A and B are shown apart, each in its own frame.
Chain A
Amino acid sequence: MKVLKITPERCTGCLRCEIACSYVQVGAFQPAKSVIRVSPFEGHTSYAPYTCTQCAEGWCMTACPVGAITINAAGAKDVLDDRCVGCKLCTIACPYGTVFYDASTRKAFKCNLCGGDPACVHACPTAAIEYEEVATRDWLHDFAAERASHVLATNGGRR
């Protein structure tokens, strides 16, 4: 299955992926509604995007009491709006924190790989997000471990 392959070292934190994703989610540019989120590391010196890895376990799917999360044609776990009752169980079940709840629609929402044509991949100017046939994994783990433990320069450049 093709998944979003993330190379965090390439990300510059320009947030273009968030803008693009939000357009897919709500038809407007509104990063608050994006399901890909770019987080800073080491203060302000590096960034990395994160979204649902489409994990094999599918915790969100298992947790949903009404069967509102199904697998779409692209193989992504997808929330069916008309079935979702907004109980938020999936947001708690997801170990990666990549299922969100929209208070205005009272529905859960998450990455569905744009049905097989990911907008964030098109948007990213640095190819930090690619759509490839690779085994899914936690793309940020090593990066986050390294960046969180040591700041870009040892003394952080602070006077």
Chain B
Amino acid sequence: MSPVTLSAPRQVGKPQPALPGGYAGQLLRVDLTKRKAWAEPWTPDEMRELIGGAGLGAMILYRETAKGKGNVSWDHPDNRLVLGTGPLAGLPVWGTGGLTVVTIGALTNGPTSTQANGFFGTNLKYCGYDAIIVQGQAKDWVYLYIDDDRIEIRDAKSYLGKDTWETQDALSRDLGLTGHQLSVYSIGPAGEHLVRFAAIQGDYGHVASKNGVGAVMGKKKLKAVAIVKGTKALRAADPRGLIQCADDIAHDLKTDPSARSLYEYGTLPGVVNLSKMGALPIRNYTTSLTGDVDMKSWEAPRLREGFDHRGHQCNACGMHHCHMSVIRQGPYKGKIVDEPEYEGWSGAGWTIGATDQSAVAWLNTQTDRACVDVNEFGWVIGWVMEGLEKGWLTKQQVGFDLKWGDVAGADRLLQMINRREGFGDLLAEGVKRASEKLGGEAAKAAIYTGKGASPRGHDHRARWEEMLDTATSSTATMETGNPVHQTELGLPARINPFDGVEVAKLVAGCRGRRAFEDSLGICIFTTRTRLENICRALSAATGWYYTVAEAMRFGRRTAAINRATALRCGLTPNLEVPSFRYGSTPHDGPAAGQAVSAQWEKMVDTWYKEVGYDRKGGKPLPQTLKDLGLDWLSKELWGKKA
């Protein structure tokens, strides 16, 4: 198969309305069935309306994946895989290499919006594109090569079977480019074998993990996207203002009490902090006690000291987050790993009863390389371990015995899942489908939401706002996210975390910020400053005058559009429930006796009322849509009379 070279048509000479600053100005459309790629211009009005990333992706899904009254499924050629970035990517604001993946995902068969960092956004925008929209399915495995105007759909056979790090190593070698000169986002064996929780990983350690986006890429037979650091210029409307604002945000991140530990240690402090709330998921939610583990050794500074490490930050980022580490001791001595996030310590660690830090760090990188979502990995493996312990699964079924904390065994199972071998084939369907198939006690022990989303690596029985958010979400992961500087929006700094009504009001009140952030091409951590600062950065980049109110409205608009797509996919309010185990009551630890099930209905009712959606059908109410400036959507959802 010889590579097809396609020069992207550039609109030279034609008068164009002035492009807002920050934008590259074109979208890259790739049709794998036709083996064609072309650049599509988008207008300044569309940029202002959709911004990029999550906002742009939501609209593309809504417009382009409808099928009759329903929606195309995740594995249909007409499914779109939007690899988007945004107006801040490639600019000097910290953490601006952002990638937001928007597609119909394999776990819920509904929309998803999941984000990662690295240098995707930087390299892509310097090549001249704000997003890649992939459609169709290739006949044979391909990878997408982007080098300024040179776009090629190339044969990827020689990279098949390689894990994500090996794929990037091999592509760098073959293309003669090292380090950030080449940004590679790829799938591992898991994505190739359509594991329903396969992820997309890039630049050694950045994972867009949710809702099986890796399976979508695998179904399209797209092994990787390789983007050379482009040579084009990005302009800002007010470059001095942008640099000043970037410095202000950096100052905020370094000094604000709520961001400071993140600045210093990334998400490492999560383990100890969450364990004190009873929100560290231990052994598949069978306990909330850390037992005889020395928790001092889990304090962030100790966790970091335990490894030789080097900074490996994303574009323009000064956070002390994202490191390459070397394992010092034990069976994995000398291995290079990506310093685990909190989610890794939890999914590849506590959830499966593993607390040997070197082993967990290694297993976490194994999941990145095979390329699955580490959260769902934890829920799957923990469920198997519990089943073997309690006897509702047998050694014969699984193929071998697997005890709590057995990291080598967990990796063995990971490799079986990866290639859908033996029992791995069932597990590759995710814990919801696997447990439903087995039924009985097995069904009661699995952790998931009714729509099929994998919760983050927390024990949400002690963090109701995340459980509510994950269960009601239209994007198969937290749609609202944690409150950040919510007092700026007039919301309370503290609530009673076990009062369902207060929880629902807080979640509804914060709704919107996340979708806004994920549309900018910036990291979720470097936006932990006041929203006002982010709006200032956007304004300086684009030349718009963007306000906090407009940002929130934008985010809610995006959420409403995703909701419309989700409903078309059959993700209706009756599915907005936690699984039996997920919604159970902790029997020990700091949150013992707190029964979320007792308040669930009231909590969801309140949330619906607050967000202005119809509790029964799930649709955003006509008035809500009108307030958001979505009259067109109102007509489509409610008919002309509404």
Mark A residues whose CB is within 8 Å of B: 11-16, 19-20, 22-23, 26-33, 38-40, 43-47, 123, 125-126, 152-159
Q: Tell me the bound Cα distance from A31 to B94 in angstroms.
A: 16
Q: Is the CB of A153 within 8 A of B334?
A: yes
In the complex, what residues of B have CB within 8 A of residue A126's CB? 311, 318
Q: Is the CB of B310 within 8 A of A30?
A: no
| 19 A-B pairs whose Cβ atoms sit less than 8 Å apart in the complex | A13-B311, A14-B315, A14-B318, A15-B180, A19-B91, A20-B92, A20-B243, A28-B235, A31-B229, A32-B230, A40-B178, A44-B178, A45-B312, A47-B179, A153-B326, A154-B334, A155-B334, A157-B334, A159-B166
Chain A proximity mask over B220-262: 1 for CB below 8 Å, otherwise 0: 0000000001111111100100010000001000000000000
In the complex, what residues of A have CB within 8 A of residue B232's CB? 30, 32
- In the complex, what's the smallest C-beta–C-beta distance from B438 to chain A, in angstroms? 32
- In the complex, what's the smallest C-beta–C-beta distance from A15 to chain B, in angstroms? 6
B502 in the interface (beta carbon within 8 A): no
Interface residues on B, range: 35 or more
Q: Is the CB of A44 within 8 A of B126?
A: no
Shortest Cβ distance from B235 into A: residue: A28
- In the complex, what's the smallest C-beta–C-beta distance from A100 to chain B, in angstroms? 12
Q: Is the CB of B180 within 8 A of A123?
A: no
Q: Tell me the bound Cα distance from A19 to B315 in angstroms.
A: 10
Q: Tell me the bound Cα distance from A137 to B318 in angstroms.
A: 26
Chief secondary structure at chain B's binding surface = loop
Q: Is the CB of B92 within 8 A of A19?
A: yes
Q: Is the CB of A32 within 8 A of B336?
A: no
In the complex, what residues of A have CB within 8 A of residue B334's CB? 153-155, 157
Q: Given contacts A13-B312, A16-B92, A126-B318, are A153 and B336 in contact (CB under 8 A)?
A: yes
Q: Tell me the bound Cα distance from A131 to B169 in angstroms.
A: 35
In the complex, what residues of B have CB within 8 A of residue A13's CB? 179-180, 311-313
Q: Is the CB of A16 within 8 A of B179?
A: no
Interface residues of B in 277-323 (CB under 8 A from A): 308, 310-318
Q: Is the CB of B234 within 8 A of A28?
A: yes
Q: Is the CB of A29 within 8 A of B236?
A: yes
Q: Tell me the bound Cα distance from A112 to B86 in angstroms.
A: 33
Partner of A156, one of B236, B310, B336: B336
- In the complex, what's the smallest C-beta–C-beta distance from B635 to chain A, in angstroms? 41
Q: Tell me the bound Cα distance from A20 to B91 in angstroms.
A: 9
Q: Is the CB of A26 within 8 A of B179?
A: no
In the complex, what residues of A have CB within 8 A of residue B500's CB? none
Q: Is the CB of A125 within 8 A of B229?
A: no
Q: Is the CB of A40 within 8 A of B179?
A: yes
- In the complex, what's the smallest C-beta–C-beta distance from A45 to chain B, in angstroms? 5
Q: Is the CB of A12 within 8 A of B316?
A: no
Q: Tell me the bound Cα distance from A44 to B122 in angstroms.
A: 17
Q: Tell me the bound Cα distance from A43 to B173 in angstroms.
A: 10
In the complex, what residues of B have CB within 8 A of residue A12's CB? 310-313, 317
In the complex, what residues of B have CB within 8 A of residue A123's CB? 92, 316
Q: Is the CB of B311 within 8 A of A38?
A: no
- In the complex, what's the smallest C-beta–C-beta distance from B203 to chain A, in angstroms? 8
In the complex, what residues of B have CB within 8 A of residue A26's CB? 233
Q: Tell me the bound Cα distance from A97 to B169 in angstroms.
A: 27
Most interface-central of B90, B310, B334, B337 (chain A CB within 10 A): B310
Q: Tell me the bound Cα distance from A134 to B324 in angstroms.
A: 31
Q: 6 tightest CB-CB pairs across the interface, nearest first?
A: A125-B318, A40-B179, A157-B336, A12-B311, A32-B231, A30-B233
Q: Is the CB of A46 within 8 A of B180?
A: no
B204 in the interface (beta carbon within 8 A): yes
Q: Is the CB of B315 within 8 A of A15?
A: yes
- In the complex, what's the smallest C-beta–C-beta distance from B253 to chain A, in angstroms? 10
Partner of A45, one of B310, B313, B317, B335: B310
In the complex, what residues of B have CB within 8 A of residue A30's CB? 126, 231-234
Q: Is the CB of B313 within 8 A of A19?
A: no
- In the complex, what's the smallest C-beta–C-beta distance from A114 to chain B, in angstroms? 13
In the complex, what residues of A have CB within 8 A of residue B126's CB? 30-32
Q: Tell me the bound Cα distance from A138 to B250 in angstroms.
A: 31
In the complex, what residues of B have CB within 8 A of residue A45's CB? 310, 312, 324, 336
Partner of B316, one of A14, A22, A153, A154: A14
Q: Is the CB of A29 within 8 A of B179?
A: no
In the complex, what residues of B have CB within 8 A of residue A19's CB? 90-92, 316
Q: Tell me the bound Cα distance from A152 to B231 in angstroms.
A: 30
Q: Given contacts A38-B180, A44-B179, A125-B94, are A15 and B337 in contact (CB under 8 A)?
A: no
Partner of B233, one of A14, A29, A154: A29
